Amino acid sequence: MSSKPYIFRIASLILCVSLGLMLFRGIAALPVTEKVTGPASHYLARTAGETGARNVVGAILFDYRAFDTLGESTVIFTAVCGIAMLFSRRKFHRSSRGLSFIAKRGIGIMVPFLLMYASVIILFGHLSPGGGFQGGTIFATVTVLLCVVFGSSFESQYFPPRTKDILESGGALLFSGIGLIGLAAGTGFLSNIAAGFPAGTFGSFLSAGSVPILNVAVGMKVGAGLSTIFYSMIKMLDAGHDHREGGGIE
Amino acid sequence: MSTLLRESAAFVLMAGGAFFSLASVIGIIRFPDIYTRIHAGTKALTGGATLVLLGAALYAPSWQISAKLFLIAAFLMATNPIASHAISRACYRHGMKPVLAFIDEYGNSEEKRDRT
């Protein structure tokens, strides 16, 4: 602590204070308006009628701008392909040691709740905040936790890489297939209510046409993709790292 | 009257949580090695966040929100000690000795297990 020069600390204090002041002034300068303008007013007024989804953000992501979302999830798909290709030559050393008993039991109790939470976030994506991207990330977190706490052989026994591949490709196919239904109905790629998907009653679980299906597709894709990225990257950690005794965090 | 009592209890709990968070920050800065720092860091969560959440649960307008806050508090209480335990155990296994410690019962028990 005292080895650092005194002037260093003064300088960092001044930097922090001025940065904070600038941020607060930026917040204060934001315009406070009572009504929304532009496309936002259109979305707020017509989302319920045009898509049947209560979550406006989800409706924009998976209905109005669904093509954009297809591109976004393709970006993840491409990243997963690239990373898996980079590390494909590495031989993966499976470890079954894991962490201590306390961590194993604790995570064993938490994992069912985490899975339920992820499913709820995906399946209720058209009603409440959340959706495929967020829920898929939580699914990937579960596999990462299992991999770290129980060892990678346990994780690959329950979620083999082959299953992840099938899930990810299945998500992409499901998304594109839903889009092609709209094309076949003659209303355009990825169109929702206009292509004949039932709108359901507003606010109920089965509503909003294709939005829940697209949520599930994106959730499959993101969950399997991020999990594959983690799985490929721990190969790199393992390569230059011999198993010293009692290492315990592999 | 009962509203006043409830709200003042909520504020007392939240102030206690803020105190725990402050003490935790001071501990993280002042303590000498990683184990004592982890010990201080867990207080921010098990003491600070849990008390703030309990206060918010008392202050909440409906019981549904209170139930959610209780669930969040329970989740934090369940996971944070496990994470801290895993971190400190990994640190010990990688050879970081505690500073200013005279009795090392964990290391002794490990040695005993290795010998037998």
Q: What is the pLDDT of residues A93-150, one digit of tens each?
A: 666 677 788 888 888 888 898 899 899 998 888 888 888 888 889 989 998 888 888 8
Pick the residue from chain B with its C-alpha nearest to A102: B82
Q: Angle CA(A236)–CA(A239)–CA(A242) in degrees, nearest 5?
A: 135
Contact assessment for residue B13 and residue B58, using Cβ atoms and an 8 Å cutoff: yes
pLDDT band per the 50, 70, 90 thresholds, residue B19 = very high
Instruction: Tell me if B86 and A100 make a contact (CB, 8 A cut-off).
Output: yes
Contacts of B79 in chain A (CB under 8 A): 106, 110
Q: Looking at CA atoms only, how far is residue B4 from chain A in angstroms?
A: 33
Q: What is the pTM of this model?
A: 0.74
Residues of chain B neighbouring A110 (CB-CB closer than 8 A): 75, 78-79
Per-residue buried b or exposed e for B10-36, using 16+ beta carbons within 10 Å of the residue's own CB: beebbebbeebbeebeebbeebeebbb
Closest CB to A110: pick one of B79, B85, B86: B79
pLDDT digits (tens, 9 = 90+) for B44-82: 888 888 999 999 988 888 888 889 899 888 888 888 888
Which residue, among A104, A107, A117, A148, would best test binding to B if mutated, counting the most B CBs under 10 Å from its CB?
A: A107
ipTM value, please give it: 0.72
Domain locations in chain B as residue ranges? 2-115
B55: burial class by Cβ within 10 Å (0-12, 13-18, 19+)?
buried
The C-alpha atoms of residue B23 and residue B15 are separated, in whole angstroms, by 12
